[in-house]
Chains A and B, each alone.
Chain A
Amino acid sequence: MAVEELPLAKAINAGLRKAMTDNDKVLLMGEDIGTLGGVFRVTEGIKAEFGDKRVLDTPLAESGIVGTAIGLALRGYRPVCEIQFDGFVYPAFNQITTQLAKLTNRGRGTLRMPVVIRIPYGAHIGAIEHHMESPEAYFAHTAGLRVVSPSTPNDAYWMIQESIESNDPVIFFEPKSRYWPKGPVDLDASASPLHASRVARTGTDATLVGHGAMVTMMLQAAELAATEGVSLEVIDLRSISPIDYAPILDSVTKTGRLVVCQEASGFVSVGSEIAATVAEKAFYSLQAPVIRVSGFDVPMPAPRIESLFLPDVDRILEAVDRSLAF
Chain B
Amino acid sequence: MTTPPPAVQFLATDGSFAPSAGSDEYLPYVEALSDEQHEQFYRDMAVIRRFDTECTNLQRQGQMALWPPSHGQEAAQVGSARATRAQDHIFPSYREHVVGKIRGIDLMGIVELMRGTTLGGWDVNDPKNGNFHGYTLVLGTQTLHATGYGMGINFDGAVGTGNPDTDTAVIVYFGDGSTSEGDVNEAMVFAASYQTPTVFFLQNNQWAISVPVATQSRVPLYLRPRGFGIPSVQVDGNDVLASYAVSAKHLDDARNGLGPSYIEAQTYRIGAHTTSDDPTRYQNDEQLAYWVARDPILRFEAFLKNKGASEAFFADVEQEAADFAADIRHRTLELPNPTIDNLFDHVYSEPHPLVTEQKAWLANYEASFGGDK
**In the complex, what distance in Å separates the CA atom of A109 from the CA atom of B351?**
12
Count B-side interface residues using an 8 Å CB cutoff.
Answer: 43
Q: Specify which chain A residues have a CB less than 8 angstroms from the CB of B120 in the assembled complex.
A: 105-108, 110
- B147–A109 CB distance below 8 A: no
B152 at the interface (CB under 8 A from A): yes
| Contact flag A71-B138 (CB < 8 Å), given A64-B186, A104-B347, A110-B123 | no
Select which of A61, A66, A70, A110 is within 8 A of B189 by beta carbon: A61
Q: Specify which chain B residues have a CB less than 8 angstroms from the CB of A99 in the assembled complex.
A: 136, 138, 141, 145
Q: Specify which chain B residues have a CB less than 8 angstroms from the CB of A204 in the assembled complex.
A: none
- B145–A67 CB distance below 8 A: yes
**In the complex, what distance in Å separates the CA atom of A94 from the CA atom of B138?**
9
Quote the shortest CB–CB distance from B271 to chain A (angstroms).
Answer: 28
- Jot down 18 A-B pairs with beta carbons below 8 A, ordered by A: A63-B144, A63-B182, A67-B145, A67-B148, A67-B183, A74-B149, A75-B156, A77-B155, A94-B138, A98-B141, A99-B141, A104-B349, A106-B119, A107-B124, A107-B346, A108-B342, A110-B125, A242-B354
A313 at the interface (CB under 8 A from B): no
A217 at the interface (CB under 8 A from B): no
Residue numbers of B with Cβ under 8 A of A are 118-120, 123-126, 133-134, 136, 138, 141, 143-153, 155-156, 182-183, 186-187, 189-190, 193, 342, 345-350, 352-355
**In the complex, what distance in Å separates the CA atom of A168 from the CA atom of B144?**
19
Within 8 A of B (CB), among A55-76: 58-59, 61, 63-64, 66-76
A95 at the interface (CB under 8 A from B): yes
Select which of B125, B141, B148, B350 is within 8 A of A168 by beta carbon: B350
| Contact flag A107-B156 (CB < 8 Å), given A59-B190, A63-B186, A144-B348 | no
Q: Specify which chain B residues have a CB less than 8 angstroms from the CB of A72 in the assembled complex.
A: 148-149, 151-152
Q: Which of A70, A95, A108 has the most CB of B within 10 A?
A: A108
A111 at the interface (CB under 8 A from B): yes
Nearest 7 pairs of A and B residues by beta carbon: A71-B148, A67-B144, A75-B152, A68-B148, A64-B186, A71-B149, A110-B123
List 16 additional contacts besides A77-B152, A111-B124; criterion CB under 8 Å: A59-B186, A59-B189, A64-B189, A68-B190, A70-B144, A73-B148, A95-B141, A95-B183, A98-B141, A109-B349, A110-B123, A110-B126, A113-B349, A144-B348, A167-B349, A168-B349
Q: Considering only CB atoms, which chain A residue lies closest to B131 in the complex?
A: A74
Quote the shortest CB–CB distance from B115 to chain A (angstroms).
Answer: 15
**In the complex, what distance in Å separates the CA atom of A61 from the CA atom of B185?**
10
Q: Specify which chain A residues have a CB less than 8 angstroms from the CB of B152 in the assembled complex.
A: 71-72, 74-77
**In the complex, what distance in Å separates the CA atom of A116 from the CA atom of B149?**
17
- A68–B125 CB distance below 8 A: no
Q: Specify which chain A residues have a CB less than 8 angstroms from the CB of B149 in the assembled complex.
A: 71-72, 74-75
- A107–B134 CB distance below 8 A: yes
A102 at the interface (CB under 8 A from B): yes
Quote the shortest CB–CB distance from B3 to chain A (angstroms).
Answer: 31
- B183–A63 CB distance below 8 A: yes
Within 8 A of B (CB), among A103-148: 103-113, 143-144, 146
| Contact flag A167-B350 (CB < 8 Å), given A67-B186, A71-B151, A76-B152 | yes
Q: Considering only CB atoms, which chain B residue lies closest to A76 in the complex?
A: B152
Q: Considering only CB atoms, which chain A residue lies closest to B354 in the complex?
A: A242
Q: Which of B144, B187, B189 has the most CB of A within 10 A?
A: B144
